[in-house]
Structure 1
Amino acid sequence: MASIQKKIIFLIQCEDRKGILAATATWFYSRSYNILHCQQHTDNNEGRYFMRIELDMKDLQTTRKELEDDFSLFAEEYKLQWKCRYSDYKSRVAIMVSKTSHCLYDLIARNNEGDLNCEISLIISNHPDLELIANQFRIPFYYLPITPETKQSQEEKVRSLLTRFDIDLVVLARYMQILSSDFTRAWQGKIINIHHGFLPAFQGANPYLKAYQRGVKMIGATAHYASEDLDQGPIIEQDVVRVNHELTPNGLRDVGKDVERRVLARAVQAHLESRIIIWKNRTIVFDVEG
């Protein structure tokens, strides 16, 4: 079996101006790096330039810290905002759930199949219902119930667990609680949430019954980074499916679950593969290379 090529990935953004691509490519060339893939996008409305570069890791002749320290000098000169990631690193992921299992099952299955480059380190829930799933896949499960009186202390316990397990990414896989502003600020760009596409039209309990009663013709889902206003953060991925009058509320729910699974998985995969750049309340999501 052929080994998977290891890559160094740079995500870069800056004010759009001439010569950035040439200067960056020259910088890597002068240090004998082979550029495997380069994607770029210019937002003419914002005057902003975005770039994703993949380098062959076998060309790395220094420590990773030395590479990043060296590049930081170049970035300072050209006023670049940047991040560097390495494809051989498995991100440590925490999944937060309530009672609904479809997104949790899907993420675990995709991870076990090797579609997600991560380690699912723990599952946190405000209900005990999904502990059997965690046990089935031998993933640590933490039941942290929450009431209005215990919300702050519960969230402190969550933070403690994320620190203890050295978590890189939190996935809200139908976690039906609102995180505090302090929490989302501390984890900005590191929390991915999924919700059905009816918001804000059908909020609250049983949105699929409300959608059925209105005779909706489309069902969608949105995955986004969580922000202080939880459902208003930068959107990563969306999808929609047409439906008709023949579907019952339960049928609409089944379609919705399938869309949610696919949208959340694509968003998590894009994050893990370092294909996302956040700018203000938007994302630039680069496609998988062909």
Structure 2
Amino acid sequence: MTHPEYILTLSCLDQRGIVHRVSGFLAEHGCNIIDSAQFGDAESRLFFMRVHFSLDEPGVTDERLRAEFALLADTMQLDWELRDAHAKPRVLLMVSKIGHCLNDLLFRYKSGLLPMEIPAIVSNHMDFYQLAASYNIPFHHLPLAAGAPEEAKLAQESRIIELVQTHDIDLVVLARYMQILSPRLCAALKGKAINIHHSFLPSFKGAKPYAQAHHRGVKLIGATAHFVTSDLDEGPIIEQDVERVDHSMDAETLSAIGRDVECVVLARAVKWFVEHRILQNGAKTVVFK
């Protein structure tokens, strides 16, 4: 007999007895803890916790479990979410004309490495409509001409918001979507949009960053995945990684290495999000790996 499984995430002001009271509640309601992780941040004085558990007591319904935990949460002033561990989050992918991250995410999704559903792919170009079709995923071409007026940009972003709402999207992934999102769209996607970029910023901005980096003789190439905010490329960081390079490598080789790092870093960030392992801590994140 299989039992329902849940993932509980919570944060609150650090206080004595949080783990005891939460685990005690679960035990009293016929739950068995499968995995648990917690962290107390001395700087923010906040406590974070993630618990994966099964509900083994048939007499306890989902409604009762949620209602009675809400009472406990109120007394402890918890910011919490309780999710079905087997429900796959719904992810919208966005891309422009650079497709390595999109291709990597689609392969991992199809291979079962990323437990998620992808109801749609959005792009401001047509380059990857055939790739989307090969995975039987609807492709939405929402063009935005260079130098388009603000009204056109807001209209295009309204279509994105409409797709997010229509498909009940849990996460938007900017898989090298090369458009700056408006503050309105950033606010609409707060906490549920992830971006990926090379980690040369702010040193090498603009076009051909790998050529700029090669010219300066860099020895490390990296990538950063972070939550999207209205502060360009400065949202809470989820994951980063680096690869060493040397003088023998040309700009094209650096770029190829950078693409590989970007794919891995973005895939990790998406996996941790859909497994409910990321909690925001102000301008930072707590990631229970």
Whether the TM-score (by the shorter chain) exceeds 0.5 is yes
Change (3 A) 1:107 1:4: farther
Residue among 67, 70, 76 paired with 2:68: 70
- Counterpart contact for 2:29–2:60, Cα < 8 Å: no
Question: In the TM superposition, what are the counterparts of 1:189-200 in structure 2 within 5 Å?
Answer: 189-200=191-202
- Counterpart contact for 1:194–1:223, Cα < 8 Å: yes
Structure 1 residue 226, shift from structure 2 partner:
0.3
DSSP-derived class of the 2:31 partner:
coil
One-letter amino acid of the counterpart of residue 19, structure 2: L
CA distance in 2, matches of 1:62, 1:29: 12
Residue matched to 1:233: 235
Runs of 4+ with >6 A deviation: none
CA distance in 2, matches of 1:4, 1:222: 39
Residue matched to 2:260: 258
* Cα displacement string for residues 205-260 of structure 1 (whole angstroms, at most 9, x for unaligned residues): 11011011001000000001101113111111000111001111110000000000
Residue matched to 1:201: 203
Say whether residues 1:166 and 2:164 are aligned partners: no
- Counterpart contact for 2:89–2:117, Cα < 8 Å: yes
The alignment of Structure 1 onto Structure 2 pairs a total of residues equal to 285
* Cα displacement string for residues 186-219 of structure 1 (whole angstroms, at most 9, x for unaligned residues): 1111001000111111111110110110010000
Change (3 A) 1:77 1:110: same
One-letter amino acid of the counterpart of residue 188, structure 2: A
CA distance in 1, matches of 2:183, 2:2: 40
Residue matched to 2:287: 285
CA distance in 2, matches of 1:202, 1:39: 38
Structure 1 residue 134, shift from structure 2 partner:
0.7
CA distance in 1, matches of 2:80, 2:53: 15
Change (3 A) 1:90 1:60: farther
Structure 1 residue 5, shift from structure 2 partner:
7.9
Name which of structure 1's ranges 176-185 and 159-168 shifts more when overlaid on structure 2.
159-168
Structure 1 residue 65, shift from structure 2 partner:
3.5
Say whether residues 1:20 and 2:37 are aligned partners: no
* Cα displacement string for residues 129-184 of structure 1 (whole angstroms, at most 9, x for unaligned residues): 11111111111001111132211111111111222222111000000001111111
CA distance in 2, matches of 1:141, 1:59: 44
One-letter amino acid of the counterpart of residue 239, structure 1: D
Any unmatched runs of 5+ in structure 2?
Answer: none
Question: In the TM superposition, what are the counterparts of 1:181-196 in structure 2 within 5 Å?
Answer: 181-196=183-198
TM-score normalized by the length of structure 1: 0.95
TM-score normalized by the length of structure 2: 0.95
- Counterpart contact for 1:33–1:60, Cα < 8 Å: no
Name which of structure 1's ranges 141-150 and 71-80 shifts more when overlaid on structure 2.
141-150
CA distance in 1, matches of 2:66, 2:2: 23
- Counterpart contact for 1:195–1:222, Cα < 8 Å: yes
Say whether residues 1:101 and 2:103 are aligned partners: no
CA distance in 1, matches of 2:185, 2:238: 20
- Counterpart contact for 2:161–2:188, Cα < 8 Å: no
Structure 1 residue 99, shift from structure 2 partner:
0.5
DSSP-derived class of the 1:34 partner:
strand
CA distance in 1, matches of 2:188, 2:30: 38
- Counterpart contact for 2:223–2:258, Cα < 8 Å: yes
Structure 1 residue 57, shift from structure 2 partner:
4.0
CA distance in 2, matches of 1:153, 1:59: 50
- Counterpart contact for 1:93–1:120, Cα < 8 Å: yes
One-letter amino acid of the counterpart of residue 266, structure 1: R
Residue among 36, 47, 50 paired with 1:49: 47
One-letter amino acid of the counterpart of residue 275, structure 2: E
Say whether residues 1:130 and 2:128 are aligned partners: yes
CA-atom RMSD in angstroms: 1.5
CA distance in 2, matches of 1:4, 1:197: 44
CA distance in 1, matches of 2:161, 2:21: 41
Residue matched to 1:223: 225
